[in-house]
A = this chain, B = another copy of it.
Amino acid sequence: MKIAVINGSSRENGNTDALTQKALDGIPFTSFYLKNYKINPIDDQRHDEGGFVKVDDDYEVLIRQILQHDVLIFATPVYWYGMSGVMKNFVDRFSQSLRDETLNFKKAMSEKKAYVITVGGDYPRIKGLPLIQQFQYIFDFLGTEFVGYLIGEANAPHEILSDSKSLGDALSFNTALLKHTDK
C-alpha cells in the first residue's frame, strides 16, 4: 500500500509535521507539501460553455502524482477552526478534476482510504470537530473510505512532543494504521 501525506502547513517542521511523523513511525510514505506548489483557487466554470479552462499551475501534475497512492493522509493545522487555506484551495480544485475525463477522479478516489491528522491550539478535540465532519462529507461525496483521524493539541513550536495525550493518541493511530496497511 502506497501512502501519500498531503500537508497543508505553512511551516515545515511544525507541530502538524511532528505529530504526523509520530503517527507514521515505521511506515513508509511520501509527503506532498502543498505550500511548495502553485495551486490557484478554483474558478467555478462548471456551468460555463466549454467547462473548465486549463489552469497554468501545479495542481494537475500534483493530483496525478497523489492519485498513484492507495492511502491519502490529509495533514493540516487547524487554522481558524478549519483546514488551512492552502489545503482548501487544493480541495476546491477537486471540482475541476471531477470534470476531467482523462482522470476518472471519482472512481479513483472511491478506491482509496483516507485519514486526517490535524493539530490546533484552541481546544482542538472539540473545536476541530466541524473540520472532521467537513472531511466526512468530502469523503462521502467521493466514496473514499474515511478510516480515521488524529487530533493533536499544541501551540508553540515542538509543543506537541510534550503533550502526552497527543502522543498517546498518535501511538494508537500508528498501531491501527500499521494493522490496516499491513493487509
A11 to B168, CA, bound (A): 30
Given A172-B172, A175-B168, decide whether A81 and B137 contact each other with a Cβ distance below 8 A: yes
At the interface, is chain A mostly helix, strand, loop or mixed? helix
Which of these, B132, B138, B176, contacts A129 with CB under 8 Å? Answer: B132
Contact yes or no, A122 B141, CB < 8 A: yes
Q: Is the CB of A131 within 8 A of B130?
A: yes
Q: Which residues of B sit under 8 angstroms from A77, Cβ to Cβ?
A: 44
A70 CB to nearest B CB, Å? 19
Query: Would you give the shortest CB distance from A72 to chain B, in whole angstroms?
Result: 14
Instruction: Report the stretch among A24-32, A61-69, A84-92, A99-107 that lies at the interface.
Output: A84-92
Residues of A bordering B, CB below 8 Å: 9-11, 14, 35, 41-44, 47, 77, 79-86, 88-92, 94-95, 122, 125-127, 129-134, 136-138, 141, 146, 148-149, 156-157, 164-165, 168-169, 171-173, 175-176, 179
Complex CA gap A141/B141 in Å reads 17
Give the chain B neighbours of A83 by CB distance below 8 A.
82, 88
Given the known interface contacts A79-B92, A88-B84, the answer about A10 and B44 at a Cβ–Cβ threshold of 8 Å is: yes
Q: Which residues of B contact A95 (CB under 8 A)?
A: 79-80
Q: How far is the CB of A126 from chain B (nearest CB, A)?
A: 5
